[in-house]
Amino acid sequence: MDKVVYCMSRKGKIIPIMLILLISMQICSSQNIEASYTIAELVLKTNGGGVRPDYGLFIASYLRDIGIDVQVKVEEWTAFVGCLLQTHDYDMGIVGLSEGGTSPDMYDIYGADGSLNLFGITKEMPYGNDSENMLLEGPTIMDLETRQQHYYDWQQLMMDRIVPILPLFAPQSYVGTWSNLNGYDANWGLLHSLPRMSFNGLHEGQESIDEFRIADANWRDLNPMFCDCGGRYSFIGKALNEEIVILSPDLAPTKTGLVIDWELIDDFHFKFYMRDDVFWNPSYNITVRDENSIPLSDIPTSQLARGLKNNEYSDGFNQKVTAKDAVFTFLLWSSTISESPGYHNWISNIYVDPEDPLAFHIHIDGDPNTPELEYYPEFWQRLNWIIMPEFFLNSSETTVTYSSGGVKTVGLYWGMFDTPQWMMNSISQFGCGKYLLDYHIRNGKTVLRASPFWLGVDPIDGSVEVLDIKTITVDMIPYLEEELAAFMHGKLDWSGLTAYPAMRKMMQADPRFDVQSFLTSSFTFLFFNLQRPFLGGDYNYMYLTSSPDKEAYTYGIAVRKAICYAIDREEMNEIIHNGDYIIAHSVLYPYTGYFYYDDIIKYNYDLDVAKDWISSGGYTCPTTTNIALLPIIIFVFVMFSLTLRKRVKKRKNKDYA
């Protein structure tokens, strides 16, 4: 009997052990079996702060899938910059570019002799000389469409045949409106959207569908020659006036502004044609007006402000906007009295066409300090100033000065801004724009009224439009938190939301609001040190022979392509940025809209393609095998149980024999 108890006790121990083994093996059966070895060990550097270290950790985890072990090193900014520009002691890095993107000329970044060439691109490496020549040729192409295609081809070459970076993300800015507003387009902005905007009813807190309310800080003056009107206060100035050339959201010049066409005489000479039948709004002096003043239309003509040169005034019908106003504006900006004269030093000559008062000529020299003419295609981004009334602001002084580009000017002198006309224009500005300045209460509000004299052309598509928004009220609210609170209570119709992601997401789920976004001028990227072994070095010069379709690529390119395909940027964007950022695909800022090539080769996450490229580069990639172990486990368990039972039975028979 004791032997029976012993046998049962032993059996009781074995069965739980087998059950634990079964459960453990069943868990293991659902997992992949992966060969664990490393084909390369790399160092990725970035600076601390923000999310770039997080990018690095995600990238390191993804690259383990293709056998690459990445050590992420986070450095203080000064040390990081020194490493980037001097020691180059890294295999990969993460950096961001900002406050640029208006030009496709990125020689400083991607040129072999560029001051910020982080990648070690040389003219000797395959396709390096091609890229160098294209970068040098780009700034000499003055025709817009030809230049666009040239930079398209260069971007494709860079991202397919050199692969110095994997573009990561470009942030967006967000704005909110109430959903009863029609016609607003955040990409074009509020000023250009106004002609097509209207309300289809009242939202909570709103009192009139004819009025649009926004917030801003107090402005110092409205003289566009000063800094105030070039920054946060530009909204009022541009509502009162029109831009000489309107730029689209992708920074391309349009023919819907005051300039309606242009002609390339040669690479250094352009002729511009202006719109006819555009008149300057009445030059009201509104300095003593408030909400109780008589309507602007009732002000007697005799009380309109008089100009500096010939005591002229404008009543909305008598002063046409012509080429002399455009020439005057550009000369002001490039004169010695400007705060930024160098901004237009490329203008070597500018004048009204001798036969057409609605046409003007600009002669271009990219470097006025040399006798030779230099190309300067970036001038397009410097034509969108608001036009200024020559008849009112130009003087009769005979003082001769020269612009920063060497153009002779007469009457532009240092004391101009102290004249009554310029001082009045700073606080009682008039223009030829969509709205008239009605009155301003410091620390209170600024009120604009729709101008009956406006040219009536939609700047977005050039169609004929009538302003449905008759009044714009700009409340002086200096703090963003107060502005957002006023918007949420319906006291404002528009508000920025970029600084408040939680509130923005709430509004996106609320049908009362409409949230839109637009790109900002920055983007981040992962970059490769092309002079390091494995990523490049000698492998930049060894071409693949594994398959005919890859013979144009080198071993270094194959590795860099594999890394790009192995990184799941969509997952990174979702986890780190809640999907709010734009995934970039090119060596240019996505913000560089007109020249940014979106139809480029894209390195969307594809682990199979990544492994194919790493294998083409001569490396054996780690393999993962998903084996169905459960049937094997059950078979082993059954066979073990049967064997155990047979042995126990045999032992019993022996003991009782």
249 and 297 in a single domain? The answer is yes
pLDDT at residue 336 greater than cutoff 90: no
Residues whose CB falls within 8 Å of the CB of residue 268, separated by 6 or more in sequence, listed in order: 348, 363, 364, 365, 373, 375
Residue 167 burial by CB count (10 A; 0-12/13-18/19+): exposed, middle or buried? buried
Distance CA 616, CA 545 (A): 8
pLDDT digits (tens, 9 = 90+) for 394-452: 988 888 889 999 999 988 888 888 899 999 888 899 999 999 999 999 889 999 999 99
CA distance 157 to 150: 11
Query: Furthest-apart CA pair in the chain: how many Å?
Result: 137
Q: Is the pLDDT of residue 239 over 60?
A: yes
Residues 95, 119: Cα–Cα separation, whole Å:
12
Q: Which residues share a beta bridge with 75?
A: 47
Q: Give the range among 219-233, 463-477, 584-598, 637-651 with minimum mean pLDDT.
A: 637-651
- Residue-level pLDDT at 339: 78
Q: What is the DSSP string of 403-452?
A: -TTS-EEES--GGGGGSHHHHHHHHS---SSSEEEEEEETTTEEEEEE-T
- One domain, residues 252 and 325: yes
Boundary (domain end) residue, out of 471, 498, 517: 517
What pLDDT shows up at residue 533? Answer: 93
Q: Which residue has the higher pLDDT, 507 or 77?
A: 507
Nearest to 614 by CA among 566, 559, 542: 559
Read off the pLDDT band of 643 (50, 70, 90).
low
- 101 in the same domain as 55: yes
Shared domain for 166 and 279, answered yes or no, is: no
How would residue 169 be classed by pLDDT, with cut points 50, 70 and 90?
A: very high
Residue 585 has pLDDT above 50, yes or no: yes
- The mean-pLDDT minimum among 285-289, 356-360, 523-527 falls in 285-289
Would you place residue 655 in the very low, low, confident or very high pLDDT band (cuts 50, 70, 90)? very low
CA 412, CA 552: separation in Å to the nearest integer? Answer: 60
The Cα-based distances of 555 to 3, 69, 92, 168, 594 in angstroms read 72, 19, 17, 23, 34
Helix residue ranges per DSSP H, 428-499: 480-488
Question: Can you list the positions of beta strands (E) in 135-258?
Answer: 165-167, 169-170, 172-178, 181-182, 198-199, 211-216
Q: Which residue has the tokens 């580069």?
A: 617
- Reply yes or no on whether the pLDDT at 226 is more than 90: no
| Host domain of residue 585 | 37-170+521-624
Residues 6+ apart with CB under 8 A from 126: 161, 540, 541, 543, 554
The C-alpha atoms of residue 359 and residue 352 are separated, in whole angstroms, by 6
How would DSSP label each residue in 446-472? EEEEE-TTS--B-TTT--B---S--EE
Is 648 a residue whose pLDDT tops 70?
Answer: no
Whether 505 and 548 map to the same domain: the answer is no
Least confident of 3-7, 55-59, 382-386: 3-7
Same domain, yes or no: 76 and 158:
yes
Of the CA atoms within 13 Å of residue 28, those in its CB half-sphere come to 12
Contact (Cβ atoms closer than 8 angstroms) between residue 390 and residue 248: no
CA atoms within 13 A on the CB side of 21: 13
Kindly report the average pLDDT of the chain as a whole number.
88
pLDDT of residue 4: 41
Q: How far is CA 371 from the centre of its chain?
A: 37
End residue of a domain, out of 517, 548, 573? 517
Each residue of 30-54: pLDDT tens digit?
A: 444 444 578 999 999 999 888 999 9
CATH number of residue 572's parent domain: 3.10.105
Asked if residue 432 lies in contact with residue 279, where contact means CB atoms within 8 angstroms, the answer is yes
CATH code at position 316: 3.90.76.10
Residue 91 DSSP symbol = S
For residue 84, what pLDDT band results from cuts at 50, 70 and 90?
Answer: confident
How far lies 321's CA from each of 240, 244, 390, in Å?
Answer: 14, 11, 9
Least confident of 128-132, 223-227, 314-318, 562-566: 223-227
Q: Indicate if 618 and 644 belong to the same structural domain.
A: no
Q: Per DSSP, what are the bridge partners of residue 386?
A: 243
Comparing 339 with 581, the larger pLDDT belongs to 581
Please tell me whether residues 468 and 577 are part of one structural domain: no
d(CA 55, CA 53): 5
How many domains does the chain contain in total?
4
Boundary of a domain, candidates 493, 517, 541: 517
pLDDT at position 9, please?
A: 47
Cα 247 → chain centroid: 15
Which tokens sit at 507? 């509004």
CA–CA distance, 358 with 274 (Å, rounded to integer) = 5
pLDDT digits (tens, 9 = 90+) for 247-269: 999 999 999 999 999 999 999 99
Residue 389, C-beta contacts closer than 8 angstroms, at least 6 positions apart: 280, 283, 307, 314, 319, 325, 430, 431
Q: Which amino acid is at 508?
A: Q
- Whether the Cβ atoms of residue 192 and residue 245 lie closer than 8 Å to each other: no
Check whether residue 591 and residue 643 sit in a common domain: no
Does an H or E element contain 190, and which? helix 190-193
Q: pTM here?
A: 0.86
Q: Would you state the pLDDT for residue 1? A: 44
Q: Which two tokens stand for residue 272?
A: 């511009």
> Residue 370: exposed, middle, or buried by beta-carbon count in 10 A (0-12, 13-18, 19+)?
exposed
Q: Are residues 235 and 144 in the same domain?
A: no
Q: Are strands 92-98 and 181-182 parallel, antiparallel or unpaired?
A: unpaired
Residue 468's pLDDT band, with cuts at 50, 70 and 90, is very high
Q: Given this model, what pLDDT does residue 26 score?
A: 52
502 vs 8, more confident: 502
CA neighbor of 656 nearest in space, from 193, 184, 4:
4
Tell whether 116 and 55 lie within a shared domain: yes
Residue with tokens 């002229």: 312
| Contact by Cβ (8 Å): 168, 525 | yes
- If you ran DSSP here, which 8-state letter would residue 270 be given? E
- DSSP alpha helix (H) spans, 266-382: 323-334
Q: Do residues 473 and 539 share a domain?
A: no
